[in-house]
Structure 1
Amino acid sequence: MASIEHGPQSGGNKKTLLWLVGVAVFMLGLSFAAVPLYDMFCRVTGYGGTTQVSQSNVKGVIAREMAVAFDATIDRGIPLSVEPARVETNAIGTISTVTYLATNLTDEPLRTTASFNVTPDSTGIYFNKIECFCFTEQVIAPNETVEMPVTYFIDPDLDENSELRTIRQITLSYTFHDS
């Protein structure tokens, strides 16, 4: 009959096993943390066209003008019609409010949320929202049309970024999702 050795090699195997289990648990934890950490990174840096949230514009208005176009996309299968706001051109730093119109095309209440970004992506860090329908879930009554306001401004610091000197228009895009 063969005997099982319980020498120094066995202790090393246990340490290796514990180390591998620890690494697996750590990687699992990172996978759950990845989405919130990426979201926080995008909000801080404006990466991927993520806009900023602000209370007001304390930097003032500058003479350079910027056009802002508005866009709306609706996820497939959502019975919603959205009319984006019209293009606006204002001096950079001007606080402006625009309105999207959304219509529920069904006889049932509709719950929706909207994700957003701006293009060019590099302008996201300069695009500030003070108030936005996208901050909360929207409930639209059957066959109802609602106004969805967005109050925003473009940070005057954009003008100091030499890579953005040729930019004349920013597009704010929303994608509406079923919630």
Structure 2
Amino acid sequence: MADLTHSALHGSSQRNKRTGMTLGLLVAGMVGLAFASVPLYQLFCQVTGFGGTTQVASANPKGVIAREMKVRFDVNVDRALPWTVKPAAAITDRIGKVDTVNYIATNNSDRPMTGQAIFNVTPDQAGIYFNKIECFCFTEQTLQPGESVEMPIVFFVDPDLDENPELRTIKEITLSYTFYASDSEGS
């Protein structure tokens, strides 16, 4: 009888170990997917322009068309980042023309602060046509106490926007940035 009980307990212990290992692997896999989801979502948005995600370009190979587009600039700063950021003034220009504008950021704290910006474009469908050649949002920025810096954006609106029937009536695009404190050294 003792052998039978020991054998049953041993089999139950093995099943519990297998179940525990399976659950542990499942949890580890879920954590891995959670970390991978952000880069995968960013890649999806960059490829499709989903959610107003802009494109990255080195130049405008398609030229300039006669249709004009007004581009407005907006900014929000997270409360954890003691910066004041002034957006660029709105511009109206021909679609396809490469333009440069500057945001101005000031660190209002008494210590170096590192921040970064995330962005989106509205209307969302225009994101795939908004191309940035240079942008401060590509890298973290560290500002010394009281320091102010100009933060350039070099961009163009892809002339293919004019061929999208859903965007034929669009006369204005808004590029919006949200600045937040970075976890890097200096913040």
TM-score of the pair, normalised by structure 1: 0.87
Q: Secondary structure at the match of 2:170?
A: coil
Task: State the alpha-carbon separation in 2 of the partners of residues 41 and 141 from structure 1.
Answer: 35
Partner of 1:135: 138
Please, which of 57, 61, 85 is the counterpart of residue 58 of structure 1? 61
Please, which of 103, 123, 126 is the counterpart of residue 123 of structure 1? 126
4+ residue runs over 4 A deviation: 16-25
Q: Secondary structure at the match of 1:39?
A: helix
Task: State the alpha-carbon separation in 2 of the partners of residues 163 and 100 from structure 1.
Answer: 30
* Structure 2 residue 102 is matched with structure 1 residue 99: yes
Alignment deviations for residues 30-67 of structure 1 (CA, whole Å, 9 cap, x no partner): 22211111111011111111111100000000111100
Partner of 1:177: 180
Partner of 1:29: 32
In structure 2, the CA distance between the partners of 1:19 and 1:128, relative to structure 1 (3 Å rule), is same
Please, which of 116, 121, 127 is the counterpart of residue 113 of structure 1? 116
Consecutive unaligned residues in structure 2, runs of 5 or more: 183-187
Amino acid at match of 1:176: F
Partner of 1:84: 87
Please, which of 57, 71, 74 is the counterpart of residue 71 of structure 1? 74
Partner of 1:147: 150
Amino acid at match of 1:98: V
Question: Are 2:69 and 2:95, in contact at CA under 8 Å, matched by a contact in 1?
Answer: yes
Consecutive unaligned residues in structure 1, runs of 5 or more: none
TM-score of the pair, normalised by structure 2: 0.84
